[in-house]
């Protein structure tokens, strides 16, 4: 049987440690609590593989790309970038798609200068029908891309 | 019979002060106030029969003022009629009121026109007067007193809210709330109000109240209060654990790695369960919202309630500041979570939740520490015996101590506690009275001696007749006295009250100013990179919130009462009963101390000190002759001779032809010899030559001794006997210590200067500090003369014939009260007859005042350092909350350190 005074002392010590820890932690946390740290590189919208899919079987031309199938949990944008050493570069094409499945969606391209293009699906969460995304402030932009299984929902396409 | 008294009062400044004094004095049964004059500093009132000076003093102190010279001096006066007063405009006639017409109506009516504000700003908080007629009637008719236990006060602003609430009730004469003791003492008119009405009013103000039964058994008055407080503490504990359970995950969410992973995992879970797309950033906000909301709405509800009640009374308190501070952080975060336009703004849910958790933790620790400040009372209560063995119908039976009646014969065996007060009728023993008197040596008790309840019988057995039971016992009265003292307000408390009263509005103003400066001014002068992480609005919001939170004056409100509670409790442990916070506060200022000689510096009983014999005589013979004669005498010195003879087991023969010769002595025939016993004049009248003893007589007299001569058969001097009231063993030591402490020590006595100086010399008091040949009725004047020199004077006496002087002194110290602690005179009552306790009382007062000053430093230090730091945006709101909680805890803990006080003299003894 633990004496009551000892139990109280232990409880107080635990409380003290917790309070001190809480103080230390609250003092250590960064001032910004806007969740701006991308977790595992996930900085867009998380979707399940059953709800967000992108399929492109062919190649692109300098003027156009046809997306065979896109499945989106909400209204979305098909965004085509130049391939900048494996990362999305300048945007060269943009096409709005509605929630759900869209087939054979053609995306007009311009200023294609690379041999490969990167096609990503961005949510249309800002003003509907307006692509609200800035490369200068990707985290602050509402129309960020979808991520499935912690990877951006994107496909690399060859340019013919 | 109606008497008219004048009492001089310090500290009144305005009409409102006059009204407060009038209200409080009128609350004393039988008292009608005729005038109260702030300018001249007095009040005049009539009383049916004798009026109790202590009640008058309490009423004045409760009003927030001090009797002139610290102790009440009631001067019976003849009061002029208004007509007479108008004929003599130079006379002090502040209020044109007929003597038989109660003043309050007139005063209150005057006040309706008069300006209540005080130019000096030094007045205590004065409740706004409701209907003057009701006020007047209430004050005059307030004949009942109720004590309530208050639950849920957090700071002196709460105290002020409750005081004001009660004082505004029609039918309430006065209300004094003590934050540390968590009590309210209310004088009210029982025809207009019931105690339940008072309780309801306190509850309507947002606090809880329970009536305290002051007539209950010793120490049980606060049982209901303690129970309610325990319940409150248990509730707070649950709320704290509840808040902690939500705050810790919330805090962990702030750790960068967790902040990234948990919302992502939850987003994935949501996406796989419900489909759709989930933004981890928003999920983080929803999680934070879900964790912070129960804390804000459930744990924080009490602060909103307090805020609302304070708001209704157009005042502010700690609840106001906590509610504003946490709401600012919480509701802004809610907006940032649910208003799409603000989705990119950060949230501060952890700030509000942690702040509430810390504040509740602070309150808990404070309640726990506050509970320990009353340990002395608990210790005293624990001393009482539970049962008593009484003789009923010739049989010894054990009964609960509550069932012992006055007159019962109580049997006490070795090692048992004496259950109640009484007088020994049979047997003898040594009794350990240390628990009440602090005296470690057991006191011998024989038939006829008094025994005190709760003391411990050592080896012998005895029976005693119960003389005081229940609430009348010495222990019960000590507990009551200490409880009253702990509930009283020390004048220094007014400093804290004044600050607290303006603190909340000032702080809210400062917070708004901070917010505006950060929002509108700072951005114009700093580099935009300063706002890389957060917007100017957020910076302004955080700085303003931190100011609101850090500035709470709760610690300030606890600074004085907790120290007074511990100080008075510590005094009681040492046999020093400090009757009010004011007495404790004044004692530290003592610059001069006047000891009554007889019974205070000395034992108060003359004893035989020297016997000188003529040739052919022996001690026993001379004593036998003198004592036999004195047996028939009523002279005070006779007692010492008889006692001495008894000690030597002498047989005293019969005296024939006894005659007392006034101013000379006594004579008669003993064993066939004509014996004269008296002074030199008697010897001269008898024709007895004393030339041989002249030098010796002179020497003894110069030592302050009374010399009596024994003449036999009208021719020969048989011997001389010197009698003196001797110095108590510890008087010299105490005087030396007091002198060392920088206190001027005086002795006052009705004795002739030579005798007085002789005793003074033995005690170590300088001849020029001897106030000799002073009649009892003039002792107060001598004290007043010292006060006129600007000295703070303490008078130490036995509280019987020194009453006026004790009352005149700044602090009256009544000595050797023993069991009769009901004595009203003196701000400090010493149970033991030990002068060292005077030193201890002053040391304790000094230690307590030092502690109060330290407490003020702690309390104000947090506020005054914290506010600028917070205003500069350098303090996070949750850290401000923790600091605020810590300030209260540190103040109470600092007061508790006073429990380590050790009397310097007892240590050396």
Distance separating alpha carbons of residues B408 and B412, to the nearest angstrom: 13
Is B62 in contact with B24 (CB distance < 8 Å)?
yes
- Indicate the pairing of strand B395-400 with strand B387-392: antiparallel
Q: What percent of chain B has pLDDT over 70?
A: 82
Which residues of chain A have a CB within 8 Å of the CB of B343?
A: 142
Does B746 contact chain A (CB < 8 Å)?
Answer: no
Which of the two residues, B278 and B365, has the higher pLDDT score? Answer: B278
The B residues from 820 to 879 touching A (CB cutoff 8 Å) are 876, 878-879
Top-confidence range, B61-70, B148-157, B514-523, B560-569: B514-523
The contacts of residue B744 (CB under 8 Å, 6+ apart) are: B591, B592, B593, B769, B791
A26/B534 CB distance under 8 A: no
Instruction: Say what the pLDDT of residue B680 is.
Output: 83
pLDDT digits (tens, 9 = 90+) for B392-415: 888 889 998 888 888 999 999 888
**pLDDT band, residue B736 (cuts 50/70/90):** very high
| CATH number of the A38-158 domain | 2.60.40
**Helix (H) or strand (E) segment spanning residue A146:** strand A146-148
For residue B827, pLDDT over 70 is answered with: yes
Residue B568 has pLDDT above 50, yes or no: yes
Mutate to test the interface with A, among B244, B257, B277 (most CBs of A within 10 A): B277
Least CB–CB distance from A26: residue in B244, B267, B878:
B878
Q: What is the pLDDT of residues B237-269, one digit of tens each?
A: 999 999 999 999 988 887 878 888 899 999 999
A5 touches B: beta carbon within 8 Å:
no
Is B671 within 8 Å of chain A by CB? no
Question: What pLDDT score was predicted for residue B83?
Answer: 39
pLDDT of B123 over the 80 cut: no
Compute how many other C-beta atoms are within 10 angstroms of the C-beta atom of residue B450: 16
Exposed e or buried b per residue across A29-40, where buried means at least 16 C-beta atoms within 10 angstroms of its C-beta: beeebbbbbbbe
Output B124 or B853, whichever has higher pLDDT.
Answer: B853
What span, in angstroms and rounded, lies between the C-alpha atoms of B841 and B906?
A: 12
- Residue B390: the pLDDT is 92
- B149 has pLDDT over 90: no
pLDDT category at A92 given cuts 50, 70, 90 is: very high
Q: What pLDDT sits at residue B794?
A: 93
SS3 content of chain B, % helix, strand, coil (to 5): 50, 20, 30
Instruction: Label residue B115 by pLDDT band (50, 70, 90).
Output: very low
Q: What is the pLDDT of residue A96?
A: 96
Lowest-confidence region among B159-168, B268-277, B628-637, B682-691: B628-637
B255 to A29: CB separation less than 8 angstroms, yes or no: yes
Checking if the pLDDT of B46 tops 70, the result is yes
CA neighbours closer than 13 Å in the CB half-sphere of residue B522: 21
Query: What is the distance in angstroms between the Cα of A44 and the nearest Cα belonging to chain B?
Result: 6
Q: Which residues of A touch B255 (CB under 8 A)?
A: 25, 29
Q: Which residues pair with A151 in a beta bridge?
A: A148
Highest-confidence segment of A7-21, B461-475, B482-496: B461-475
Domain boundaries, chain A: 1-30, 38-158
Of B276, B281, B879, the CB nearest to A26: B879
User: Is it the case that residue A17 has pLDDT exceeding 60?
Assistant: no
For residue A22, the chain B residues in CB contact (below 8 A) are 247-248, 251, 354, 357-358
Instruction: Name which residue leads in pLDDT, B764 or B137.
Output: B764
Three-class DSSP category at B263: helix
- Chain B CB contacts of A32 under 8 Å are 346, 533-534
Q: What percent of chain B has pLDDT over 90?
A: 14
**Max alpha carbon distance in chain B (Å)?**
133
Q: Give, rounded to a whole angstrom, the gap between the first and last alpha carbons of chain A.
A: 81
Asked if residue B301 has pLDDT above 90, the reply is yes
Mean pLDDT of chain A: 82
- Cα→Cα distances B782→B381, B758, B793, B803, B805, Å: 41, 20, 11, 13, 8
Average confidence (pLDDT) over B120-149: 52
Compare B13 and B89 and report the one with higher pLDDT.
Answer: B13
Predicted pLDDT of residue A16: 57
State pLDDT tens for residues A53-74.
Answer: 999 998 999 899 999 999 999 9
Q: What is the dihedral of CA B425, B429, B434, B435, to 10 degrees?
A: -60
pLDDT of residue B94: 34
Backbone angles phi, psi at B220, to 5 degrees: -95, -5
* Adjacent-strand bridge partners of B37: B42
Q: Respond yes or no: is residue B533 known to be catalytic.
A: no
Q: Which residues of A touch B350 (CB under 8 A)?
A: 26, 29, 33
ipTM over 0.85: no
Residues belonging to chain B: 909
Largest CA distance in chain A: 83
DSSP per-residue letters across B646-682 = HHTT-----EEEEEEETTTEEEEEETTEEEEEE-HHH
Q: What is the pLDDT of residue B34?
A: 73
Distance, in Å, from the CA atom of B718 to the CA atom of B621, rounded to the nearest integer, reads 9
CB count in 10 Å sphere of residue B614: 18
Q: Are B836 and B815 in contact (CB under 8 A)?
A: no
The whole-number average pLDDT for the span B730-751 is: 90
> Per-residue pLDDT tens for B799-818?
556 777 887 889 988 876 54
Beta-sheet pairing, B2-10 with B75-76:
antiparallel
Q: Which pLDDT tens digit goes with each residue over A113-133?
A: 999 999 999 999 888 999 999
Q: Which residue is catalytic, options B37, B319, B432, B596? A: B596
């Amino acid at each position: 049987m633990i004496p009551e005074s000892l139990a109280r002392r232990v409880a107080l010590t635990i409380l003290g440690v917790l309070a001190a820890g809480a103080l230390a932690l609250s003092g250590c946390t960064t001032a910004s609590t806007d969740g701006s740290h991308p977790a595992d590189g996930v900085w867009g919208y998380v979707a399940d593989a059953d709800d967000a899919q992108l399929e492109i079987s062919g190649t692109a031309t300098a003027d156009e790309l046809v997306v065979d199938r896109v499945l989106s949990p909400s209204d979305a944008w098909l965004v085509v970038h130049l391939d900048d050493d494996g990362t999305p570069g300048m945007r060269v094409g943009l096409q709005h798609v509605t929630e759900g499945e869209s087939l054979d969606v053609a995306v007009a391209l311009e200023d294609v200068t690379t041999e490969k293009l990167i096609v990503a699906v961005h949510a249309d969460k800002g003003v509907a029908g307006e692509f609200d995304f800035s490369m200068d402030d990707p985290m602050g932009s509402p129309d960020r891309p979808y991520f499935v299984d912690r990877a951006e929902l994107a496909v690399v396409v060859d340019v013919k | 019979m109606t008497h008219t008294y004048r009492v001089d009062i310090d500290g009144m400044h305005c009409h409102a002060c006059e009204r407060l004094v009038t209200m409080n004095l009128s609350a004393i049964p039988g008292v009608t106030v005729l005038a109260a004059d702030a300018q001249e500093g007095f009040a005049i009132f009539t009383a049916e029969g004798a009026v109790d000076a202590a009640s008058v003093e309490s009423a004045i102190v409760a009003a927030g003022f001090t009797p002139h010279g610290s102790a009440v001096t009631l001067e019976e006066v003849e009061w002029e009629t208004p007509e007479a007063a108008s004929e003599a405009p130079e006379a002090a006639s502040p209020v044109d009121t007929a003597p038989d017409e109660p003043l309050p109506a007139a005063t209150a009516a005057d006040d309706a026109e008069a300006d209540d504000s005080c130019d000096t700003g030094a007045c205590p908080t004065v409740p706004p007067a409701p209907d003057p007629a009701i006020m007047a009637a209430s004050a005059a008719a307030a004949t009942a007193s109720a004590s309530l236990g208050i639950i849920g006060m957090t700071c002196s602003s709460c105290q002020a809210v409750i005081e004001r609430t009660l004082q505004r009730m029609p039918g309430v004469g006065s209300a004094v709330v003590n934050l540390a003791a968590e009590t309210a003492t209310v004088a009210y008119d029982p025809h207009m109000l019931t105690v339940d009405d008072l309780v309801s009013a306190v509850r309507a103000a947002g606090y809880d109240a329970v009536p305290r039964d002051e007539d209950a058994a010793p120490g049980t008055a606060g049982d209901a209060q303690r129970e309610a407080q325990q319940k409150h503490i248990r509730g707070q504990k649950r709320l704290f654990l509840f808040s902690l359970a939500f705050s810790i995950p919330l805090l962990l969410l702030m750790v960068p790695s967790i902040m990234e992973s948990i919302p992502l995992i939850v987003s994935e879970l949501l996406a796989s369960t419900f489909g759709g797309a989930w933004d981890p950033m928003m999920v983080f906000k929803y999680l934070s919202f879900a964790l912070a909301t129960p804390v804000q709405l459930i744990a924080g509800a009490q602060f909103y309630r307090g805020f609302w009640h304070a708001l209704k009374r157009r005042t502010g308190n700690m609840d106001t500041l906590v509610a504003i501070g946490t709401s600012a952080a919480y509701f802004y975060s809610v907006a940032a979570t649910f208003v799409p336009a603000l989705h990119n703004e950060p949230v501060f849910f952890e700030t509000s939740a942690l702040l509430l958790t810390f504040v509740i933790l602070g309150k808990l620790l404070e309640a726990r520490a506050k509970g320990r400040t009353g340990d002395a009372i608990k210790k005293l209560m624990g001393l009482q015996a539970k049962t008593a063995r009484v003789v009923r119908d010739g049989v010894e039976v054990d009964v609960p101590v509550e069932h012992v009646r006055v007159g019962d014969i109580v049997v006490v065996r070795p090692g048992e506690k004496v259950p109640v007060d009484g007088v020994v009728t049979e047997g003898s023993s040594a009794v350990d009275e240390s628990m009440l008197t602090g005296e470690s040596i057991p006191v011998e008790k024989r038939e006829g001696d008094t025994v005190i309840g709760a003391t411990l019988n050592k080896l012998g057995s005895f029976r005693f007749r119960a003389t005081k039971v229940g609430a009348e016992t010495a222990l019960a009265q000590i507990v009551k006295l200490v409880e009253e003292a702990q509930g009283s307000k020390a004048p220094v408390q007014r400093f804290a009250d004044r600050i607290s009263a303006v603190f909340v509005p000032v702080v809210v103003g400062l917070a708004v100013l901070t917010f505006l400066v950060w929002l509108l001014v700072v951005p114009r002068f700093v580099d935009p990179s300063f706002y890389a992480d957060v917007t100017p609005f957020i910076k302004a919001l955080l700085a303003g919130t931190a100011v609101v939170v850090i500035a709470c004056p709760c610690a300030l409100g606890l600074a004085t009462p907790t120290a007074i509670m511990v100080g008075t409790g510590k005094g009681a442990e040492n046999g020093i009963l400090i009757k009010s916070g004011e007495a404790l506060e004044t004692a530290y200022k003592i610059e001069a101390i006047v000891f009554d000689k007889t019974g205070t510096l000395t034992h108060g009983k003359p004893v035989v000190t020297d016997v000188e014999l003529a040739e052919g005589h022996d001690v026993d013979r001379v004593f036998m002759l003198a004592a036999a004669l004195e047996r028939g005498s009523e002279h005070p010195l006779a007692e010492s001779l008889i006692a001495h003879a008894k000690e030597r087991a002498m047989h005293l023969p019969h005296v024939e032809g006894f005659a007392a010769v006034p101013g000379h002595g006594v004579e008669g025939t003993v064993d066939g010899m004509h014996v004269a016993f008296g002074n030199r004049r008697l010897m001269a009248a008898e024709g007895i030559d004393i030339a041989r003893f002249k030098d010796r007589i002179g020497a003894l007299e110069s030592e302050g001794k009374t010399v009596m001569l024994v003449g036999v058969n009208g021719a020969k001097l048989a011997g001389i006997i010197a009698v003196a009231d001797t110095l108590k063993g510890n008087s010299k030591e105490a005087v030396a210590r007091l002198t060392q402490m920088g206190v001027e020590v005086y002795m006052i006595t009705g004795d002739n200067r030579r005798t007085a100086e002789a005793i003074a010399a033995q005690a170590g008091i300088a001849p020029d500090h001897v106030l000799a040949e002073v009649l009892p009725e003039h002792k107060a004047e001598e004290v007043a003369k010292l006060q006129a020199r600007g000295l703070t004077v303490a008078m130490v006496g036995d509280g019987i014939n020194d009453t006026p002087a004790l009352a005149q002194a700044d602090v009256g110290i009544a000595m050797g009260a023993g069991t009769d602690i009901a004595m009203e005179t003196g701000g400090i009552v010493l149970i033991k007859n030990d002068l060292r306790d005077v030193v201890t009382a002053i040391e304790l007062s000094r230690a307590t005042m030092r502690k109060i000053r330290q407490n003020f430093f702690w309390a104000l230090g947090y506020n005054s350092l914290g506010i600028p730091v917070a205003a500069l945006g350098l303090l996070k709101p949750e850290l401000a909350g923790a600091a605020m909680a810590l300030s209260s805890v540190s103040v109470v803990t600092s007061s508790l350190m006073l429990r380590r006080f050790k009397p310097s003299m007892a240590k050396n003894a």
